[in-house]
Amino acid sequence: MTENHNSCPMSSSSPTRGQEHNPNPHPGNKALLVLADGSVYHGLPFGARGTTLGEAVFTTCMTGYQETMTDPSYHRQLVVMAAPQIGNTGWNDEDNESRDNRIWVAGLVIRDLSATVSNWRAKRSLPEEMENQGVIGIRGVDTRALVRHLRDQGSVAAGIFTGADAEKPLEELLELVRNQEPMEGADLAGDVSCDEPYVVEPDVDPTGLTVVAYDMGIKTNTPRNFSLLGVRTVVVPANTPFEEIKQYNPDGVFVSNGPGDPATADKMVEAVRDVLAAKIPFFGICFGNQILGRALGMETYKLKFGHRGINVPVIDHRDGKIDITAQNHGFALKGEPGKDFDTDFGPAEVTHTCLNDGVVEGVALKNGMAFSVQYHPEAAAGPHDANPLFMRFYELMASNKQDQEG
């Protein structure tokens, strides 16, 4: 086991500034981040106290920590914030992305915690909300070194231990970390999905269009985008059979973002294949992109450290347009940029890839009836470059309905 004070193992060419001292001179106020590879990071606790386990991942978001923490896609993940100071805007009651306002991250790892809250919408501080919801955090960690370590070694099982739990033998803590369920092969959408269907009505004049949205871990801003277009959204639990959603007479079907390994989502793949066979317009994002890909015959795999941030460049190979996108995923589709391939539902293509590493970022049927992207066009948090995808789906549903009625 390699133990470092406030940093991960470094080579001789790496800076050692983060190794000069233990930031925690008070043993009773101790916090440890323990990685399954044996790395140990010292810090100070904030939020709730105790032990939390999960997969250590990093996000490069400079803003939007509240939206990140309430995104159900982060279920069972210990999120490392690459931005050096967190908490300065506090916590409000408007920016939560989970329907029940729940924090879904398993734990939070940061460098500096803002000493004050400075935002007119803030109702309380970040540590107060974390304590209220039982979410454990560690601060004072050299997150720059930690992010580099995760980029080099990949996302890894980890645990945050605070207070009395941090005083236990390191061998015991490491055993807890290594014995947790791995993210690969984890079926988590059922943990975060709604239990019963619910409806989000239009905020503007209704268009008469209805979309059925599968909640794989849906963000609240997604049905809001449909609502702003006059579309009625019926949100249904993950794995709802196609036969059950037909009662809503959907003009389109949407599959949301969500956590876990898409290779476990066989029921959702079957449901989407039924949607495609029925020639109902389809739109998917993030997990939904992987589900559509699988329905078209593609395979998925786990990325080394994933894409998590709000500045990821993606190219559309059909017109060369580049969008800066918000992303949060640890799995991806296997495919080649711009490649056409045959499916049971007609010709399809890989429409988008990431300019950083070539990862598949979008697929579509060439007849236009189904498309998906790996990123988050609802932009919560993040840039709005991809937001027109909601209008594109609206126009597809409206055109298809007109054809059906004509």
Residue positions in the annotated binding site for L-glutamine? 73, 258, 260, 287, 290, 328, 330-331
Query: Among the options 8, 61, 286, 354, which is catalytic?
Result: 286
Q: Report residue 404 CA to chain centroid gap.
A: 36
Rounded CA gap, 21 and 39, in Å?
Answer: 17
Closest CA to 88 of 52, 117, 122: 117
**Which residue's entry shows tokens 């106020």?**
29
354 is catalytic: no
Active site residue 378: yes
**Identity at 49, one-letter amino acid code:** R
Residue 161: φ, ψ to 5°:
-125, 125
Written as six digits, the tokens of 37 are 């590879």
Q: Which two tokens stand for residue 310?
A: 């709000």
Residue ranges for the binding site? Answer: 73, 258, 260, 287, 290, 328, 330-331
Q: Please give the torsion angle defined by the CA atoms of residues 4, 308, 294 and 363, in that order, rounded to the nearest 10 degrees.
A: -150
For every residue of 208-267, DSSP letters joined together read: S-EEEEEESS--THHHHHHHHTT-EEEEEETT--HHHHGGG--SEEEE----S-GGG-HH
Angstrom distances, CA of residue 132 to CA of 106, 164, 231, 253, 348 = 14, 20, 35, 36, 48
Non-local CB neighbours of 402 within 8 Å, separated by 6+ positions: none
286 is a catalytic site residue? yes
What is the rounded CA–CA span in Å between residue 357 and residue 218? 26
Task: List the catalytic residues.
Answer: 286, 376, 378
